[in-house]
Structure 1
Amino acid sequence: MKADRETNRLPLRAGAMLLLAVAVVFIGLGWHRAATSGDEGDTASTSVAESTTATPTESSAAGGDETSTPASSSKVADAADVGSVCVLNAGTVTGLAGKVSDSLKQSGFDVSGAENLSTGSISENTVFYDEGDEAAAQKVADVVPGGASADPRPAVFTRCEGEIVVIVVTE
């Protein structure tokens, strides 16, 4: 009699596998939610930071045009001395290269494009330059939102040849 009842039951091993599969699904969903919720938070804080930054600039420009105009034209003149700039996004923030590209264009730099770069070897915002372009690269690095370091271009890095390369990872 006991054998008849056990044939209709799910074996213990199959039940354990089913519970394990459900646990893996929930862990994956939790990880995905945590990974994507951080991006939304960064975007919101960036918007707040940009609006906060824009407000003092607008108010100071309205208060005294004589003070803000020479500084602006000086930056544009400095940007004109720099050749073409290529912006690459090596981070996880979607659209970061486009934001940095727009920021550099507003500062007067000639930006050739904004693309994605898949690499794990660069962990901070970096400006790569060719020999003799160190001063120009430093001008670009000073304007990159979030800051950047200026480093010589590695010989193995062949993207955007002949240009100063801005690789952004964080905002």
Structure 2
Amino acid sequence: MNADREPNRLPLRAGAMLLLAVAVVFIGLGWHSAATGDEDPEAGLEAAQSRVSASTPTSSAAATSAASSENSSTKRLCVFNAGSVAGLAGEVTDELKAKGYRTASPGNISSGTITENTVFYDDGDKTDADKVAGDLGDDTSVDPRPSSFTQCTDGIPVIVVTR
């Protein structure tokens, strides 16, 4: 009967030791994160985003440099795909970058209410929004940002549905 009990204890001890080892690893990761983390996580995210935007290559350095100075007063653009064309926000983001605009990473939104390409603007940003819409094409509308649209609060949202 003792022989039957010993095998049952061994897996229980091994399981307990495994749980203890996992706990030690997570505690160590927590300490490492606390010791090396930024005091302001939002500032860290903004710095990372600016490094990504600054390191993205463009097709022509001379054209980008000229366009950059032309569009330097424009806020950062956030392009969102609200249509069914896969990769559309990425294509439009690349196009706007090539024209010298500062852009955020493209994203997707699901909205049944936005049915055409639209540039939203906040108070004081209408001129910039009109310029972006003009660079995208005649079928792009420019509208005040709805209060319910909370994405891209520090930039100009560009919603694309079709090409």
Smaller-chain TM-score bracket:
0.5 to 0.7
Q: Note if 1:112 corresponds to 2:127.
A: no
Matches within 5 A, 1:24-35: none
Once the two structures are TM-superposed, the CA of residue 117 in structure 1 deviates from its matched residue by: 0.5
Once the two structures are TM-superposed, the CA of residue 90 in structure 1 deviates from its matched residue by: 0.1
TM-score, scaled relative to structure 1: 0.55
Query: Considering only aligned residues, what root-mean-square deviation do their CA atoms show, in Å?
Result: 1.9
Amino acid at match of 2:99: S
Q: What CA deviation, in whole Å up to 9, does each residue of 1:3-24 have, x standing for no partner?
A: xxxxxxxxxxxxxxxxxxxxxx
1:86·1:164 contact (CA, 8 Å) conserved in 2? yes
Gaps of 5+ in 2: 1-61
Amino acid at match of 1:163: G
| Structure-1 residue corresponding to 2:151 | 159
Percent of residue pairs identical = 47
| Structure-1 residue corresponding to 2:130 | 138
Q: In 2, Cα distance between the equivalents of 1:146 and 1:122?
A: 17
Once the two structures are TM-superposed, the CA of residue 145 in structure 1 deviates from its matched residue by: 5.2
In the TM superposition, structure 1's runs of 4+ consecutive aligned residues that sit over 4 Å from their partners are none
Gaps of 5+ in 1: 1-68
TM-score, scaled relative to structure 2: 0.58
Q: What CA deviation, in whole Å up to 9, does each residue of 1:27-58 have, x standing for no partner?
A: xxxxxxxxxxxxxxxxxxxxxxxxxxxxxxxx
Q: What CA deviation, in whole Å up to 9, does each residue of 1:43-95 have, x standing for no partner?
A: xxxxxxxxxxxxxxxxxxxxxxxxxx89x83x433311101100000000000
Higher helix share: 1
Aligned pairs, how many? Answer: 101
